[in-house]
Amino acid sequence: MSVFTAAAEQSLCAPLPVLGEDVLVPLVTGGEVGYAALDYAASAPALKRVWDDVAAYAPYYGSVHRGAGYLSQLSTDLFESSRATVAEFLGCRPGDQVVFTRSTTDSLNLLAAALPADCQVFVFETEHHASLLPWRDARVTYLNAPRTPARAVATLERALADREPYGPALVCVTGASNVTGELWPVKELAAAAHAHGARIVLDAAQLAPHHPVDIAGLDVDWVAFSGHKLYAPFGSGVLAGRADWLRDAEPYLAGGGASRKVARRADGGVDVEWHTTAARHEAGSPNVIGVHSIASACKALTEAGFDRLVAREQHLVGEVLAGLAEVSEVKVLSLFGDDAPRVGVISFVVEGWNSSHFAAALSAEYGIGVRDGLFCAHPLVRILLGSDPGEAGECGAPEAEPGERSLNAIRVSFGAGTPDEHIERFLRAVRELVSAGARWKYRTEDGRCVPDRGAAQV
């Protein structure tokens, strides 16, 4: 851990400005309160800097790679300069490609579609569904959940050593868990993959908003992440890394932009020459505003300084963990142990509470937005909750009455824009709900636990 100067310590009290800081939400018990957004792991609020940059560009919006007009040329320059900004943010190597997609999920499905024939994929069962599920057309080996970072490396090394000694192989791993926030030993896993002739893709959806990601330094082959978790709206994502598999694969989508030349053949068919650059997998009119917003967020985080951002976030992580530890009914979920390094993502369950009921009460009675469910990481949450892998449980749906056991958990997540007051209010709300119970009655509606508007206050 670095030793921070007095100026750096002072900066712990300065979150980055985000949209929504002044939004008021109604409380079921009466009145309004400023909304406490503590669901950053799902979608982080947009940085005001990003929104201002997008607003400044919006009047100049034009088609990309399509027109000779001034606005089209301006938009094309902005689109391609954004690609360079993202490459710098990720520490890309010479020759790496930055492909713009819709999301992390889209990025990993693109890579799955670009796998060479007979590629074998290795993925831990603890992954988010975005990195667990796209490999349907490959030979997939699912690795058991490791209980320490060292065990993760050993598990991968053993699996790779036992694989059939031919053909390409790919390892897919998260950088930070979307359930526990725990950091994975990415550099060590990359070294293990390469030692056995495999490549590795990093799911950085939860890592990139909290820590610097350096492709060259980590020695990973690809990185995937989403703009909406990086304080940038508009549904864009990135797949960045080695060009060869992407260049050799059929275009992810067939259409304009991906094609370099199209001509009719004498037999009535069509010959197509596809681009070999990132454009090969960016068919159609691109989301230039979404791409610009990602580049703006990359610049904002870089200029703010990751050392300062990480220091402040770790301060908040410590506050949350210490506060939850004071409530004996609360159990924080962890794969690697209580002392494992983590980003601002913490999941827990409360004894005697249905997690969906608890999350609903946090929202309705305190104006706090958290997430409940299985977080699109069903196998991992089932392991952490000690449930049967075959036990039913739908992501986000309360399948038990308040007070009964339910196969779901509560997740609180925060980041660069979180003020101290939101953390303080959350911890106070947890203590009050556990000690005194909810002040309102709740019911299930369309699979969600919601306040019973027709009921009186408890």
Rounded (10°) angle between helices 186-195 and 149-162 = 20
Q: What is the pLDDT of residue 458?
A: 66
Terminus-to-terminus CA distance in the chain, angstroms?
48
Q: What is the pLDDT of residue 395?
A: 39
Beta pairing, strands 169-174 & 120-124: parallel
Q: CA–CA distance from 117 to each of 120, 139, 143, 230 (Å)?
A: 9, 10, 22, 34
> Which uninterrupted H or E stretch holds 217?
helix 215-218
Per-10-residue mean pLDDT, the chain, length 458: 34 80 96 98 98 96 88 96 98 98 97 96 97 93 97 98 89 98 98 97 98 97 98 94 97 92 92 93 93 98 96 98 98 96 97 94 98 95 78 46 66 98 98 97 89 76
Pairwise CA distance, residues 64 & 51, whole Å: 21
The pTM score is: 0.92
Which class for 420: exposed (0-12), middle (13-18), buried (19 or more C-beta within 10 A)?
middle
User: Would you tell me how many other CB atoms lie within 10 Å of the CB of residue 170?
Assistant: 24
Q: What is the pLDDT of residue 438?
A: 96
**Tokens in use for 56?**
């400044």
User: Would you tell me how many other CB atoms lie within 10 Å of the CB of residue 404?
Assistant: 12
Q: What is the pLDDT of residue 357?
A: 95
Pairwise CA distance, residues 422 & 424, whole Å: 5
**Catalytic residue status for 376:** yes
Q: What is the pLDDT of residue 66?
A: 76
Q: What is the DSSP letter of 147?
A: S
Q: What is the pLDDT of residue 12?
A: 52
Q: What is the pLDDT of residue 292?
A: 97
Q: CA–CA distance from 23 to each of 28, 40, 51, 124, 400 (Å)?
A: 16, 16, 16, 39, 32
Q: What is the pLDDT of residue 397?
A: 45
Choose the catalytic residue: 92, 172, 376, 449: 376
**Three-state SS at 23:** coil
